[in-house]
Amino acid sequence: MANIVVLDYGTSNLRSVAKALEYVSDTEHQITVSDKAGTILAADRVVFPGQGAVGQCMNSLKEKELDEVILECIKNKPFLGICLGLQSLMDHSDEDGGVDCLGIIPGQVRRFTNAGVDERGNLQKIPHMGWNQVWQSHKHPLWDGIKDGERFYFVHSYYVCPDNVEDIVAETDYITRFVSAVARDNIFATQFHPEKSQHAGLSLLKNFLTWKL
């Protein structure tokens, strides 16, 4: 039985992520929520979820010494980042007056500006909240069975700008065209919340559990 650890650094949506993983695991995986370095390092796969502000996230990771644990896990385990779990992988975020992140994937985190009006005349407010289409820019095992343009659930005011286009595997249109998923080697990370995205999100989580590097 494979052991999947959901990284706990004090965020509020851990249980919903864990429950979604349990639902798609078919009892073939042990799902654990933990902030213990030994438990995380011993996991077969790691999920890094999050919502809120990146400054608080990075402070909590450092206080718990989980930043170094993440850097170690990134080397050889299937790793899924969700929302802040994506943004924290970048070099730097503009949020909270400017915050240095983990620097795993080169790039910046920017805030949406100049809210506009969509093609139906609806005001595009900040934060971007609700369902939106995700356009796959590269093939990836985690997209298996998920159609291009499928809708996923978002809640965010900031978005990532990777330096390398090769790291981008999906984009979404809201105010601007922004990166909604990245992938590199054993890393896959999304701006949207698969645990809140019904069938499509559960399919992505299932794909993560069966992803062979």
Neighbours of 144 (CB within 10 A): 13
| pTM for the model | 0.95
Task: Return the pLDDT at 26.
Answer: 79
Domains and CATH numbers, the chain: 2-210 (3.40.50.880)
Q: Is 161 a catalytic residue?
A: no
- Spatial distance between the Cα atoms of 104 and 25, rounded to a whole number of angstroms: 28
Q: Is 195 a catalytic residue?
A: yes
How confident is the model over 27-61, as pLDDT tens digits?
789 999 999 999 999 999 999 998 888 999 999 99
Q: Is 83 a catalytic residue?
A: yes
Mean pLDDT by 10 residues, the chain (213 residues): 91 86 90 95 95 90 93 94 96 96 98 79 87 97 98 97 98 96 98 97 98 92
With contact defined as beta carbons under 8 Å apart, do 49 and 11 qualify? Answer: yes
| Catalytic position from the list 95, 150, 171, 195 | 195
Task: Return the pLDDT at 155.
Answer: 96
With contact defined as beta carbons under 8 Å apart, do 50 and 57 qualify? Answer: yes
| Catalytic position from the list 57, 73, 83, 101 | 83
